[in-house]
Structure 1
Amino acid sequence: MPGQDKWHENLRAGFDLETTSPEPTEARIVTASLIVVDGAGNVANHQEWLVNPGVPIPPAAANIHGVTDERAQRDGLPAVLAVSQIAMQLNQLFEADIPVVAFNACYDFTVMAAEAQRHHVVFGDPRPVIDPYVMDKQVDRYRRGKRTLADVAAFYQVPLQNAHTSAADAMAAVGVADQIARKYPAVQIPATELHDAQVQWKKEQAAGLQEFLMRKNPNAFVDPRWPVALD
């Protein structure tokens, strides 16, 4: 049996949201995917939600994820029901210490926390979370180029088809996290320890970016909180 530190060879889940806005405290969920994979990377459970967010979906957002207002209103679950179901599934994973992988996790989990607050849904402390965006910046901090999911997936040779659909992005996030773990033994630590390490890495990364931005804007601020940035 794989050791406890080999989180990438045990049960883990990929999570992704597509929403109405890039601002996580304002965004409403439009689609969600939660995909549990086994130690070999095979899909053990796959859940998807199409949500009627209760607010208009801006054309710019619809152009990215492909879900129109008409479709969401016709086929989507009411937001309060979808948020309740997603939160329940995530809570169960975290209570079982099954890590949830999300690329740029602070966006998705801040959206979840805000939506849970908005709809009076119980959403516990998201832990352990594994964020390949934070990990990649830590283990290969001087690599040039963009670090979007598409760019990072291409760098680690992880297939990503139908990008900006929640299911494809969730699976790609797992694939990228796995590849980072295979390449860098330093992240082959128990998932709860890796979660704590990422909290610190995110603080350091935010401080570095803030220092850079302040060269042009003395008032620049980069939020160091992870995986939830919600007051």
Structure 2
Amino acid sequence: MSWHLGRLAGFDTESTGVDVDTDRIVTACIVEVGGNTPPLTANWLINPGVDIPEAATAVHKITTEKAKTEGQSAEEGIAELVAGLTQIVLAGTPLVIMNAPYDLTLLDREARRYGVQPLTEVVGDELLVVDPRVIDKQVDKFRRGKRTLTDLCAHYQVKLDGAHSADADAIAACRVAWRLGQRYPALTEMSVRELHKAQAAWHAEWAADFQAHLRGKGQADAVIDGSWPLRPVGGAS
């Protein structure tokens, strides 16, 4: 059976900002769907231990006060997230993560911040990721327009309820992954491990091309990180 017809686990976070090395997770969701099995959803609201900027609150609607009064401690929440994802990965379920280098790196840095063994160190090569953003860029390279989750949902006719909430985004990413498998048979001819490896190569190629483009436009110092699905510690931002 093709990977897109089996069990998939969507993972998404909302945070205090966009810097994966310094910003903090505020909400997170893991949702398991497909495989002729009822869906399972787990949500986290975390007190990040820092003030949530107004710009971030405007996106995900979580205020500093709400996080402090209703959220669990960051150390506890991050440990639970890593444990939950570890269980899923070791069960052989692929993780569907829109723009994986963001969410996985953010989680990695949070784990290190609180002394939790990072996911990739626990599961090693068992980690298999399906990243709709990377795949879409590869299968439809020359389509104009943005490639956010909202844009991909519109393009692939996927329902998105409540964009920029972790639970809505996680399930939508799984739906887009399913659509991609449905629309492009070449993707489903690969095992999920082969697809994982291919995505790493596709993302590296895209990053190199985009970096060359920016430098050709006069941005001589432009650096685009080509690592996927996780940015290395101390790597390019």
Instruction: Tell me if TM exceeds 0.5.
Output: yes
The question of 1:35 aligning with 2:37 is answered no
2:70 paired residue among 66, 71, 75: 75
Give the letter aligned to residue 14 of structure 2: E
Partner of 1:22: 18
Give the conservation status (yes or no) of the 8 Å contact 1:199–1:227: yes
2-structure distance, mates of 1:211, 1:22: 23
After superposition, the C-alpha distances for 1:127-159 in whole angstroms (9 at most, x for unaligned) are: 101100000000000000111110111000001
After superposition, the C-alpha distances for 1:157-195 in whole angstroms (9 at most, x for unaligned) are: 001121000000001100111101111112112111111
1-structure distance, mates of 2:128, 2:225: 20
Give the letter aligned to residue 33 of structure 1: C
Partner of 1:48: 43
Partner of 2:160: 160
After superposition, the C-alpha distances for 1:182-209 in whole angstroms (9 at most, x for unaligned) are: 1111211211111111111110010111
Q: CA RMSD in A?
A: 1.1
Partner of 1:11: 7
Partner of 1:111: 106
1:124 paired residue among 115, 119, 122: 119
Provide the secondary structure at the position in 1 that maps to 2:31. strand
The question of 1:89 aligning with 2:84 is answered yes
2-structure distance, mates of 1:230, 1:20: 21
After superposition, the C-alpha distances for 1:84-110 in whole angstroms (9 at most, x for unaligned) are: 000001111111221010111110000
The question of 1:217 aligning with 2:222 is answered no
Give the letter aligned to residue 182 of structure 1: Q
| TM-score, normalisation: structure 1 | 0.95
1:218 to partner: Cα distance? 1.3
Count of residues in correspondence between the two structures: 226
The question of 1:59 aligning with 2:27 is answered no
1:70 to partner: Cα distance? 0.5
Give 4+ residue runs of structure 1 displaced > 3 Å after superposition. none
Partner of 1:191: 192
Q: How does 1:168-187 map to 2 (within 5 A)?
A: 168-187=168-187
Provide the secondary structure at the position in 1 that maps to 2:119. coil
Partner of 1:229: 231
* Distance change (3 Å), C-alpha of 1:31 and 1:107: same
The question of 1:134 aligning with 2:134 is answered yes
Give the letter aligned to residue 197 of structure 1: A
1:230 to partner: Cα distance? 2.9
Give the conservation status (yes or no) of the 8 Å contact 1:91–1:123: no
Give the conservation status (yes or no) of the 8 Å contact 1:25–1:230: no
2-structure distance, mates of 1:47, 1:32: 8
Give the conservation status (yes or no) of the 8 Å contact 1:113–1:230: no
Give the letter aligned to residue 42 of structure 2: Q
Give the conservation status (yes or no) of the 8 Å contact 1:7–1:190: yes
2-structure distance, mates of 1:27, 1:172: 24
| TM-score, normalisation: structure 2 | 0.93
2-structure distance, mates of 1:154, 1:45: 25
Provide the secondary structure at the position in 1 that maps to 2:39. strand
* Distance change (3 Å), C-alpha of 1:161 and 1:184: same
The alignment-based identity, stated in percent, is 42
Partner of 2:209: 208
